[in-house]
Amino acid sequence: MERLYLALIFLTGAITLAMELLASRILTPYFGVSLFIWSGILSITLIALALGYYLGGQFTRTPPSARTHSLEFLFLLMPTLAGSMVVASCLLYPKVFHLLGSASLVFGAYAACVLLIFFPLVAVSTMNPLLIAIKMERAASGTSGSDSGSGLVFFVSTVGSVVGVSLTAFVLIPSLTNFSSMLLLASTLSVVSGFGAWRNAGLPAPERTRLFAAAAFGIVAAFALLAFASTYLKKDVPIDFGGGQWTLEREYTSYFGNTKILKIAPDPNSPEAETVERYGTLYYNDGITMNIVDAQGASLTPFTWALEFLARGLRPKAERALMLGLGAGIIPMRLEAVGVEVDVVEVNPSSVEAAVDHFGFDDERVNVVVADARTFVRECPKPYDVVLLDMSNGDGLPEHLVSLEFFSDVRRCLTPDGITIFNTFGATEHLEDLDHVFKTLHTVFPHLRMYHDGLEDGKPSISIYLAAFQREETAPLVWPNDPVPPGIAPTLEKVFSQERPIDYTRLERAEILRDEFNRFSILNQASDEFFRESILLTLPPEFLVN
């Protein structure tokens, strides 16, 4: 029996870390990728474990003669109790997290962690002190050795945690949705209780019956929600939102987040339908709309055209281009169509698959290297006339891709006349947060050109496009004579109607971001919060569940 109980401790230790890792993925579309998410997850996890250890110890203080249930009953009850709590969390979070994120990203993230993992972790962590007490009682009755076995219990639990986090990272996350993975863990916890009750013939019959009933309830609840997940999450029906009807075409799971392909069609019953311009296929990854194309395959996002036209307008005779970040693959295909040899570096294989399946990307015409951009540019295999930077994570720009060392590596990838094209996003009230990125880029590239559609009262945010040169560039921007979708043509005309001045005196107060000390996520916190809050307003809440 001791081996069985240690096996259960191993399994619950594995599930504890699995839930923690899955929580980070579940929270990302609502709260982004930030220190606040991980500080919330770690803080709530540690508090839950501490409380569970304390409560487990309190259970053991009651004299055997005064206990309503045996310690072994409580030990075996905790997994199915935790599993039922996980099922309840999965029922609640798709309805609640959107509201929490809209109210406050920081405090909402902590509240979301409490709702998602706190109570299940309290339940499973009571098992460690309970098992130690069981071993001590058996030692006192002469049925085992005299050691309490506390060291062994925590050793087995910790090893289980290592195995759990590894299996979650390399098996569950790339194979299943996070919602399904949580329910699979919930059912496993209930099975653990039922199996323990079945193997422990020494338990009183009423206690065994209660354990079987609790385990059966947990298993049925988990599998029922799993079976009807598509219906509950409305994945199989159109969602009416913002004058359009949204449907989920396909979902890709991977190590780098969940990619969803959404279709947006006019809602004939909505008074807003005639005013909505962006109907088509949307490429969505963990809270970020990466691109949207119309029925003819033309991009309806201004940044796609802006990056391409900057590259062609400033280097019309470019022969080779490097694109860091594939997205839907629209830009590299358009550059290839005008005779440019294009290499694309993309860290997520699912992005390549989605681009091929839904956006007309041809990986036989454009060379794709599946790798991290930072690693690739450190050992660039050949020089490029243009390098386009279009990379983001759950919030915006990853820290390791806005450092002095990274920009220096990018410069070494260029021909002597080569240029770098860079786009980013800024909240109008917090544009100074980007000064640190601009100063770092300017330290490597002495000459910058900036374009955006102007700062106006009431405009909450702007997209910013930068062209970086190794030496002074006086040639004018030659706008390619290509037809642009009418819905975004006015925006692009405004963006490139004039070059926007950069306040270099303001940059003097900014920091240079280096690998050894990069505070970008802290410095850009306010802008990132605005960015995430704006996302929550532009997508149906149902599609934030991953």
For residues 254 and 278, membership in a common domain is answered with yes
Q: Which of 186, 47, 181, 32 is nearest to 114 (CA)?
A: 47
Which domain does 514 fall in, by range? 301-544
Phi, psi of 287 (to 5 degrees): 95, -5
For residues 313 and 284, membership in a common domain is answered with no
DSSP run (H or E) holding 239: strand 239-241
DSSP run (H or E) holding 280: strand 280-285
Phi, psi of 354 (to 5 degrees): -65, -40
Q: Is residue 449 part of a domain?
A: yes
Q: Is residue 429 part of a domain?
A: yes
For residues 253 and 364, membership in a common domain is answered with no
Collapsed DSSP state (helix, strand, coil) of residue 337: helix
Q: Is residue 12 part of a domain?
A: yes
Phi, psi of 539 (to 5 degrees): -130, 145
Dihedral sign for Cα atoms in the order 369, 375, 379, 380: positive
pLDDT at 65: 61
pLDDT at 478: 83
For residues 389 and 497, membership in a common domain is answered with yes
In this structure, are residues 342 and 367 in contact, taking their beta carbons and an 8 Å threshold?
yes
CB < 8 Å & 24+ apart, contacts of 365-368:
365/333, 365/336, 366/329, 366/332, 366/333, 366/336, 366/342, 367/342, 367/343, 368/326, 368/343, 368/344
CB < 8 Å & 24+ apart, contacts of 92-96:
93/26, 93/545, 94/179, 94/232, 94/233, 94/541, 94/542, 94/544, 94/545
Q: Which amino acid is at 269?
A: N
Q: Is residue 295 part of a domain?
A: no
CA dihedral 308, 313, 314, 315 (to 10 degrees): 80
For residues 227 and 366, membership in a common domain is answered with no
**Cα 239 from chain centre:** 23
Q: Please state, in angstroms and rounded to a whole number, the distance separating the CA atoms of residues 485 and 299.
A: 8
Q: What is the CATH number of the domain that holds 466?
A: 3.40.50.150
pLDDT at 277: 54
Q: Which two tokens stand for residue 187?
A: 């059912």
Q: Is residue 57 part of a domain?
A: yes
pLDDT at 525: 77
Q: Please state, in angstroms and rounded to a whole number, the distance separating the CA atoms of residues 376 and 323.
A: 11
DSSP run (H or E) holding 99: helix 71-103
In this structure, are residues 263 and 282 in contact, taking their beta carbons and an 8 Å threshold?
yes
- The neighbouring-strand residues paired with 464 are 424
Residues 6 or more apart whose CB falls under 8 angstroms from that of 545 comprise 29, 93, 94, 179, 233
pLDDT at 270: 63
Q: Please state, in angstroms and rounded to a whole number, the distance separating the CA atoms of residues 377 and 345.
A: 9
pLDDT at 121: 97
Q: Please state, in angstroms and rounded to a whole number, the distance separating the CA atoms of residues 477 and 499.
A: 9
Q: Which two tokens stand for residue 109?
A: 């993230």
For residues 353 and 267, membership in a common domain is answered with no
Q: Is residue 282 part of a domain?
A: yes
Kindly write down the DSSP assignment for every residue of 125-160, as one continuous string: HTHHHHHHHHHHHHHHTTSS-S---HHHHHHHHHHH
Q: Is residue 294 part of a domain?
A: no
pLDDT at 303: 92
For residues 247 and 224, membership in a common domain is answered with no
Q: What is the mean pLDDT of each run of 10 residues along the chain (546 residues)?
A: 87 94 91 78 94 92 69 93 97 94 86 96 95 80 57 91 93 92 97 91 88 96 95 90 89 86 82 60 84 90 93 94 94 95 94 94 94 92 94 68 93 95 86 90 94 86 91 82 88 91 91 89 78 80 88
Residues 6 or more apart whose CB falls under 8 angstroms from that of 57 comprise 129
For residues 216 and 276, membership in a common domain is answered with no
Residues 6 or more apart whose CB falls under 8 angstroms from that of 103 comprise none
For residues 208 and 306, membership in a common domain is answered with no
**Cα 369 from chain centre:** 22
For residues 41 and 183, membership in a common domain is answered with yes
Residue 295 CB burial class (10 angstroms; 0-12, 13-18, ≥19): exposed
Q: Which of 349, 146, 375 is nearest to 255 (CA)?
A: 349
Of 213, 231, 249, the one marking the end of a domain is: 231
Collapsed DSSP state (helix, strand, coil) of residue 356: helix
- What is the reported pTM? 0.85
Answer left, alpha or beta for residue 145, where phi above 0 means left and psi between -120 and 50 means alpha.
beta
In this structure, are residues 307 and 465 in contact, taking their beta carbons and an 8 Å threshold?
yes
Q: Is residue 296 part of a domain?
A: no
For residues 279 and 362, membership in a common domain is answered with no
For residues 55 and 112, membership in a common domain is answered with yes
Distances (CA, A) of 435 to 74, 260, 409, 527: 57, 33, 21, 12
Q: How many folded domains does the chain comprise?
A: 3
